[in-house]
Amino acid sequence: MPTVTMRVNGKTVSGEVEARTLLVQFLREHLRLTGTHVGCDTSQCGACVVHVDGNSAKSCTMLAVQAIDADITTIEGLADGETLHPMQEAFRNNHGLQCGFCTPGMVMSAVDLVNKNPTASETEIREWLEGNICRCTGYHNIVKSIQEAAENVGG
Amino acid sequence: MHDFNYHKTSNIEEAVKVHMGAEDGTYMAGGQTLLPTLKQRLAAPTDIIDIAGVTELNTITVSDDVSLGSMATHASVANSSEVSSAIPALATLAAGIGDPQVRNRGTIGGSVANNDPAADYPAACLALNATITTNRRKIVADDFFTGMFETALEENELITSVSFPKPDKAAYMKFPNPASRYAIVGVFVALFGTDVRVAVTGAGDNGVFRPTEIENSLSSSFTASALDDTTISPDDLLSDIHAQSDYRASLIITMAKRAVAAAS
């Protein structure tokens, strides 16, 4: 079985996996980082979004072996101790979630957007969320959350 | 997903050699189509040869033409200011594939080699008269796409780059499936001097194709109104739960008109 080594949330981790092990399985089942969710398992819903070398990716559509030597950030890696990341704080302030299942992917996707385009318009935010599905909120408060976080981060 | 042997490769020669030694090998670029296919057990290769580490395939070069390395991601093409100024339609097309996460990993080489009948890039290749370069030879787009999910690629052959001549005008218009963002109908129009090339994806029951009726009408006048009396037969078009063939036939004309109006 292949051995994989990668950096996850700043720490070097390794493990033995089957070649077919998905990155999301490695994160959840080997590392017990269960903040990253599996919704559809068909790369449509975005609940599994993590950052791979600074770019958002669907960890259900990536093998763990593809992440060898990569730098992975999951939802668990965003907060600084007890201090929430500005995007998490904005989701809380704006009621950007209801059941919360999609939220880790939403937040990771939104952080990638604001990193790349701190002045994203409402339309650009909605287009960016193409790959993240939420069944509860109607997206409105998610968009508001991202706008607020962008203002707080981008100034 | 069935298990397989995984090979990480770092150069073209190594990748091809590993593929040649495999019982039933397949190259993996970004894996955005391959992995869902494996999950559904529609394919079960014995060996996966990952070419993501072959850095010489990542290049984007703009000179007389636009040459995209086969591992260029959709995001890198969409965000390239050089591609945007040389062939704006190509950057726009890349920006409309899937969603941001798929664009971060999906590649032009993977898209072209897979030749999904609803993929976007095959339409750009065909309309822009692209040349597909492999580890062995150069293949013009007209000879490359041979049918649904079928190409002229031979066993072990690896796409290294795709080069697009710069048109005088071009545009791509897609009517996407709202869930998958694959084209229900996508039309790419390109004008080179007086030559008009048009390609349709998403609609043909044999994959991407050039609609001669539309090319002929636009050759006499490259305007949307030149297509007012042009029709496409639904006979060889796809019919499925998303759209029936006669609706696709109508959409082809509509999208072609919009593309001509938008061409720049």
- The tens digit of pLDDT for each residue in A85-128 reads 999 999 999 999 999 999 999 999 999 999 999 999 999 999 99
Strand-pair category, A3-8 with A11-16? antiparallel
Q: How far is B77 from chain A (nearest CA, A)?
A: 15
Q: What is the rounded average pLDDT of the residues B212-222?
A: 97
Residue A1 pLDDT level (bands cut at 50, 70, 90)? confident
A29-33 mean pLDDT:
98
pLDDT tens sequence across B118-176: 999 999 999 999 999 999 999 999 999 999 999 999 999 999 999 999 999 999 999 99
B60/chain A closest Cα distance in angstroms: 19
- B239, HSE (Cβ side, Cα atoms, 13 Å): 8
A131/B98 touch (CB, cutoff 8 Å), yes or no: yes
Write the CATH number for A61: 3.10.20.30
Give the C-alpha separation, B211 to B6, whole Å: 41
B64-165 fold: 3.30.465
Q: What is the pLDDT of residue A154?
A: 62
Q: What are the distances in angstroms from CA B25 to CA B5, B19, B41, B170, B233?
A: 9, 6, 15, 37, 39
pLDDT for position B39: 97
- For chain A, the domain total comes to 2
Which pLDDT tens digit goes with each residue over B41-81? 999 999 999 999 999 999 999 999 999 999 999 999 999 99
pLDDT of residue B180: 85
- Cβ distance A41 to B39 less than 8 Å, yes or no, reads yes
B183: Cβ–Cβ under 8 A, 6 or more apart, which residues? Answer: B118, B119, B120, B123, B174, B175, B176, B177, B201, B202, B203
Please name every residue paired with B161 in a beta bridge, in sequence order, or none if there are none. B69, B133
ipTM reported for the complex, 2 dp: 0.96
Q: Average pLDDT of chain A?
A: 96
Q: Note the pLDDT of residue A151.
A: 92
Q: Using CB atoms, which residue from B36, B38, B101 is nearest to A56?
A: B101
How long, in residues, is chain A? 155
**In terms of CA atoms, which chain B residue is nearest residue A18?**
B3
Contact between A65 and B98 using a beta-carbon 8 Å cutoff: no
Q: What's the average model confidence in pLDDT over B217-232?
A: 97
In three-state secondary structure terms, B102 is helix
Are A27 and A53 in the same domain?
Answer: yes
Asked whether residue A81 is assigned to any structural domain, the reply reads: no
Name every residue whose Cβ is closer than 8 Å to that of residue A18 and which is 6 or more positions away in sequence: A1, A2, B3
Is pLDDT at B244 greater than 80 in this prediction?
yes
Residue A24 lies in a domain: yes
pLDDT score for B86: 98
Say whether pLDDT at B12 is over 70.
yes
Provide CATH code, domain B169-262.
3.30.390.50
Are A65 and B8 an interchain contact pair (Cβ–Cβ within 8 Å)? yes
Q: What percent of chain B has pLDDT above 90?
A: 98
Contacts of B48 in chain A (CB under 8 A): 19
Q: Is residue A99 part of a domain?
A: yes
> Which of A76, A109, A134 is the C-terminal boundary of a domain?
A76
**Residue range(s) defining the domain that contains residue A94:** 86-154
Q: Choose from A3, A16, A18, A20 for mutation: most chain B CBs within 10 A.
A: A20
- Residues 6 or more apart whose CB falls under 8 angstroms from that of A147 comprise A122, A125
Rounded to the nearest angstrom, the minimum Cα separation between A94 and chain B is: 24
Mean residue pLDDT across chain B: 97
Q: Which two tokens stand for residue A8?
A: 């996850």
pLDDT tens digits for A52-80? 999 999 999 999 999 999 999 999 999 99
Residues of chain B with CATH 3.30.43.10: 5-49
> The domain at B5-49 falls in which architecture?
2-Layer Sandwich (3.30)
Tokens of A11: 């720490």
